[in-house]
Amino acid sequence: MSVIIAAASQIFMLTGCSRIDESGKTPDTFVFARGSDAQKLDPADIDDGESVNTLAQICEGLVRFKSGTLDIQPWLARSYTISKDGLTYTFELREGVRFHDGTPLNAETALFTFERQLDTTHPAHFLKASFQYWKNLFQEIKTVRATGPMTIEFKLSEPNASILYSLATFPAWLISPLAFESHGEAIVRRPIGTGPYRFVDWKPNQAIILEKNQDYWGSEAGFERLVMRTIPDNTVRLLELKAGKIHALDGLQPAELAELFDNKQFTIHAQPGMNVGYMAFSNYAARLRSPAIRHAIAMAIDRKAIVDLALDGFAIVAEYPIPPGFLGEPDNSQPPIVHDPDAARKILNEHPDLLKRPIELHTFTAPRPYFPDPLKIASLIRNDLENVNLKVEIITRDFKSHLVAARRGNFELALLGWSGDNGDPDNFLATFFASWAAVEDSATNISFYKNKAMDNLLIAGRQQTDINQRQKTYEQALVIWARDLPLIPLIHTEQIVVTRSEVTGFQLQRTANLFFGPVGWQSL
């Protein structure tokens, strides 16, 4: 019986009729669906994409990245100046901006966002919040104060060229101090910002409902309401899109997009994200320490095949541990790692002791922005390594358990990745290679690579303000990386968002933030 039903359903699926609303009217509610719900809505204490993308409609920063680029443009601040020594940043705030609760934007109200992260005794410095981005991106900020009714000034302890970029990212998005006074800790669930949409309601694990901010200082939002729905199952999410119940979605596996390619009703927006997925060697694994062996293993892996088979082409091969176009990227055309299994085999044949025990490749089950299918990627790598006569054992864990092992260096090979925060190379290179990032249980330098020369270059790169100087510094850092190879960068995964073709004004951002403010509707 079940056989008949199944066969019938397969036939029907193939001829399936979708139910798009073809009335041509502009809907007054824009529905966007993602695979999981936001966690919190406090810009200073989040780090998952869903929370950030929800706040992206509600909150704004002093500056922002020009749409589609990594260039800074003034936003809530109408202008800014940086002192010659790079230690003082002054922002002139825009007039006539109000938060969603009516609070006017001025120096005093703007300070709230920063003071609560900087000052540990501030009442809004919640004790259970991590504020990890402040420590990570803004540690040089010594003081922040109002130097005029609409002027605020940041003083740094050391110059850091990336601070301006960091101020465009979500931890620096402004929230209303009045909201904290009225609601206290509940602001974590009810954000009040200055953006094109305002927060209305949050049904956990179902949807977050926003409505148009009628008093928005910039161009009016395109819809009366914006609903951000949670649909965990990819297949179901796609079905809802095809049925016309939602207007846009993200988080699909590349393989699932194949049948949308020729469909004129949908537009696939894809661009390489500011991320890198890599395979790390642990310094604690003695038998893989030799750079020759590491290079051999790197040459054995067919990264193009990973892009084609595991990501269906929705990624690019990562030549360096930083995304393409970043400062520090060498402009010579000779990539540091080439795919050459024969050379790899020759080198590895000289190390027969590697065959005594299978090499452990650690991976995890949950999809991440840099690895939509980590299991498949591990599987392809294993095949490649077995092609050069190595034996590989794949150890799979849930993501958190994998992270525990990774952060302790308890592996020989491990898959992991990183999504960039502010577009600065330091955000990648110091994360991966700095010895201060190699602390057990909180390491982001999971290779536990400690090299004095590298450390010096990274510190210098942070403090230099001249762009050409920084370029040279980071190029040198990459030379050291290519020599010691603590990790093999594999791919830069593309961010994929699918929208109905009637949706206008949508543009993918380098930071992977989704902005629906400028989005509108145009019947086909």
Partner 1 sequence: MSRFSTIFEYATWGALCLSLVGLFYTPYNPMEQDFRNLAFSSASFSHWFGIDGLGRDFGSRLWRGSGNTAAMALMALSLNFIIASFLLFIEQSGPRFLRRVIPLGIGIWVAVPVLFIGLVMMVFLKPSAGTLIIAVSLGNVPLAFRQLRILWIEQRNALYVLATEILGAGRRHLLAYTLWPNLRPDLMGLAKLILAICVLELSGLAFLGLIGDPDFPELGAILRQNQAYLFRNPMLVAWPGLILSTLLLLVHLSKSRSY
Partner 2 sequence: MIATKQEHKFNALLIELAHKGVMLLLVFFIASAVIFTAVNLVPGDPVSLRLKNPDPERVAAIRAELGLDEPLINQYFHYITSFVRGNWGDSLITGQTVREEIGEYFPATLELALLALFLGVILGLGAAFSAQWFKSGLWRNTALGLGALGLTVPIFWLGFLFIVVGSLWLGWFPSGGRFDFTLPIPQGSGFLIFDSLAAGRLDMLRVTFQHLALPVCCLSLYPAALVCGVLQARFSDPRLHTLLRALRAKGLSESRIWLIHILRLLGAAVITVVGTNFGALLGGAVLTESVFSWPGMGRYLVEAVLNRDLFVVENGLLLIILLAYLIISTADLLAFLSNPTVRRHSDSAS
Q: Tell me the C-alpha distance between 361 and 378, whole Å.
A: 7
- In the complex with partner 1, the residue whose CB is nearer, 8 or 292, is 8
The answer to the question of residue 19 lying near partner 2 (CB under 8 A) is yes
Could you tell me how far CA 387 lies from the centroid of its own chain? 33
CA 452 vs CA 408, 455, 481: distances in Å: 21, 5, 12
The answer to the question of residue 436 lying near partner 2 (CB under 8 A) is no
CB 53, min distance to partner 2, A: 16
CB 43, min distance to partner 2, A: 13
Please choose, out of 99-107, 128-136, 385-393, 482-490, the segment that lies near partner 2 by the rule CB under 8 A.
Answer: 128-136
Q: Which of 253, 300, 359, 288 is nearest to 490 (CA)?
A: 300
> Dihedral angle at the C-alpha atoms of 9, 14, 17, 19, nearest 10 degrees?
90
Site string for partner 2, 36-65 (x = CB under 8 A): ---xx-x--x-x------------------
Q: Tell me the C-alpha distance between 426 and 295, whole Å.
A: 24
Q: Please, is 285 exposed, middle or buried when counting C-beta atoms within 10 Å of its C-beta (0-12, 13-18, 19+)?
A: middle
Q: Tell me the C-alpha distance between 282 and 299, whole Å.
A: 18
- In the complex with partner 1, the residue whose CB is nearer, 8 or 186, is 8
The answer to the question of residue 299 lying near partner 2 (CB under 8 A) is no
Q: Which of 459, 441, 361, 435 is nearest to 139 (CA)?
A: 459
CB 285, min distance to partner 1, A: 18
Find the length of the chain: 524
- In the complex with partner 2, the residue whose CB is nearer, 51 or 283, is 51
The alpha carbons of the chain give a radius of gyration, in whole angstroms, of 24
Please choose, out of 55-63, 160-168, 226-234, 330-338, the segment that lies near partner 2 by the rule CB under 8 A.
Answer: 226-234
Q: 144 with 111: CB under 8 angstroms? A: yes
CB 472, min distance to partner 1, A: 42
Q: Which residues sit opposite 493 in a β-bridge?
A: 315
List of residues contacting partner 1 (CB under 8 A)? 1-3, 6-7, 10, 13-14, 234-235, 238, 253, 255-256, 258-259, 305, 309, 363, 365-366, 373, 375-376, 378-380, 383, 394-398, 401
Binders of partner 2 among residues 173 to 212 (CB under 8 A) are: 185, 188-189, 203-207, 209
- Number of residues engaging partner 2 in binding (CB under 8 A): 62
The answer to the question of residue 131 lying near partner 2 (CB under 8 A) is yes
CB 98, min distance to partner 2, A: 27
Choosing from 24, 441, 452, 466, the residue that interacts with partner 2 (CB under 8 A) is 441
Q: 369 with 273: CB under 8 angstroms? A: yes
Q: Which of 9, 216, 12 is nearest to 99 (CA)?
A: 216
Q: Which residues sit opposite 521 in a β-bridge?
A: 503
Please choose, out of 2-10, 154-162, 164-172, 271-279, the segment that lies near partner 2 by the rule CB under 8 A.
Answer: 2-10
Which of partner 2, partner 1, none lies near 151, with the C-beta cut-off 5 to 8 A by kind?
none
Q: Which of 293, 212, 276, 208 is nearest to 421 (CA)?
A: 276
Q: Which of 168, 180, 170, 91 is nearest to 131 (CA)?
A: 170
- In the complex with partner 2, the residue whose CB is nearer, 333 or 442, is 442
Q: Which residues bind partner 2 (CB under 8 A)?
A: 1-2, 5-6, 9, 12-13, 16-19, 29, 31, 39-40, 42, 45, 47, 127-133, 135-136, 185, 188-189, 203-207, 209, 227, 229-233, 235-236, 239-240, 242-243, 245, 366, 398-401, 403-404, 407, 431, 439, 441-442, 444
